[in-house]
Copies of this chain bind each other. A is one copy, B any other.
Amino acid sequence: MIYPVILCGGSGTRLWPTSRRAYPKQFAELLGRESLFQATLKRLSGKDFAAPMVVTSDDFRFIATEQAGAIGLDDARFVVEPSARDTAAAILSAALMLADHEDAVMLVAPSDHVIADVPAFLTAVQTAAKAVEDTGALLTLGVTCDRPETGYGYLELASPPKDGAALPLTRFCEKPDAETAARMVASGKKLWNSGIFLFRVADVIAAFSKHAPDLMLPCQAAVDQGKEDLNFFRLDATAYEKIEPISFDFAIMEKAANSMTVPVSAGWSDLGSWDAIWRISEPDTDGVATHGSVTAFDCRDSYLRSEDDAIHLVGLGLNGIVAVAMRDAVLVADKARAQDAKNVVAVLRAAEVPQADHAPRFHRPWGWYETLCMDSRFQVKRIMVLPGGVLSLQSHVHRSEHWVVVAGTAEVTIGEKVQLVTENQGVYIPLGTVHRMANRGQLPMYLIEV
């Protein structure tokens, strides 16, 4: 059995506007009808895998559980990091939580990558698991390079890689410039660093003791003093906050003597920017790839994406352009500059543009809401309440509310009175009245609030 540990705390902005701090890339339906997080969970399920451990943040814990639930996964363990401390602390904490299985192999995977050829990936994982069991190595899956990519880190081997064989690693290389990248690919002894790791629990803990001993005490304390909270395990905030953020590559992999890799050609991408999405979206002979409700007219070498069936995106005479349309935000970029989207988000954030970080849909423990229409005198929202979801008791001094249930049944409390409001029924909450809503049913409940 392999113990999957899925890192799900990132909040990348290089795929803005689809990926935002409040609803990052791993949760978006970037490719197909499931999120990258859901695809990662599915890929690491089945008879060879134990129930996964998902390391996520306070902000994302409800999105993560909702998405896991939506694909029928009910045995995942959710570990909440009280603050972001980079990958070394997340991986060590996970290892310490698995310390009862010290001989077990754990597999650490980001939640926001794509792997097109899952059987090839799983074959490589089996090879890797056997290698770490046999050797006690710390292993990184290496991806066969097919172009001089400057957006990835590289792994250096002593000799050219052979698919299906574990090999010792001689060096980790940072993201290169274009010239260095071309030389590395030409050398035939380089692989891309996938950021997917395999090792035995005891071996990685030993490596931390040796190469990053400062992390041991606070991580152990964060685990020991951590608390169950609903269905989450929350690492102790005081202990965790003492940790100096550092990546696992820097803290451990670059220092470990016994590092290995297994090369894999499995259609892997970290989807690190819109040009990576374009590449993986199988552009046509003109180099044009589209997603959603789009018309491309005399375009070349471009990626056109509409995130909403109600928005039709048209490209006319474009060359080397990325355009992404959402209900509240549109990005149009030079494709060669796609990596700079994160800088744009920093500018938007500084200018206090809400779209920098917020997404149109606000996720809450009980479900989500989105604004359909905002005016100086009124607002219209669409609200979804999960089965079992309960909104806290509240009253408003400056607004009254009209609710119309459009799917499911709401249990509505107004003052002392509790009533069931079913599909196609409305209810009025006068200004200043204490009220609450809950979904006691088995299916999501939707309502429109005016």
**A402: B residues at CB distance < 8 A:** 402, 404, 426
- The CA-CA distance from A2 to B206 in the complex, in Å, is 94
Q: Is the CB of B297 within 8 A of A353?
A: no
Whether A330 lies near B323 (C-beta < 8 A) is yes
Q: Which residues of B contact A115 (CB under 8 A)?
A: none
**CB–CB A406/B337 < 8 A:** no
Q: How far is it, in angstroms, between the C-alpha of A327 and the C-alpha of B328 when the chains are bound?
A: 8
Please report the total number of A residues contacting B with Cβ < 8 Å. 59
- A332 and B347 in contact, given A372-B372, A380-B448 (Cβ under 8 angstroms): no
Q: Among A81-89, A227-235, A256-264, A310-318, which stretch is in contact with chain B?
A: A310-318
State A374–B309 Cα separation when bound (angstroms): 10
Residues of chain B contacted by A318 (CB below 8 angstroms): 321, 332-334
C-beta contact mask, A170-210 vs B, less than 8 Å → 1, else 0? Answer: 00000000000000000000000000000000000000000
Interface membership of A329, Cβ < 8 A: yes
Q: Which residues of B contact A428 (CB under 8 A)?
A: 426
Judging by beta carbons under 8 Å apart, are B328 and A310 in contact? yes
- Ranked nearest first, the 9 interchain pairs of A and B with the lowest CB-CB distance are A317-B334, A317-B337, A316-B333, A372-B372, A378-B406, A404-B450, A312-B355, A325-B330, A323-B332
Task: Spell out A's residues near B (CB within 8 Å).
Answer: 16-17, 293, 295, 297-298, 304, 306, 310-319, 321, 323, 325, 327-334, 336-338, 340-341, 343-344, 347-348, 351, 353, 355, 372-375, 377-378, 380, 382, 400, 402, 404, 406-407, 424, 426, 428, 448, 450
A-B contact pairs, 21 of them (CB 8 A): A17-B314, A295-B353, A297-B340, A313-B329, A314-B348, A315-B332, A316-B332, A316-B337, A316-B341, A316-B344, A317-B333, A317-B334, A317-B340, A323-B323, A323-B330, A372-B373, A372-B380, A373-B382, A377-B407, A380-B380, A406-B450
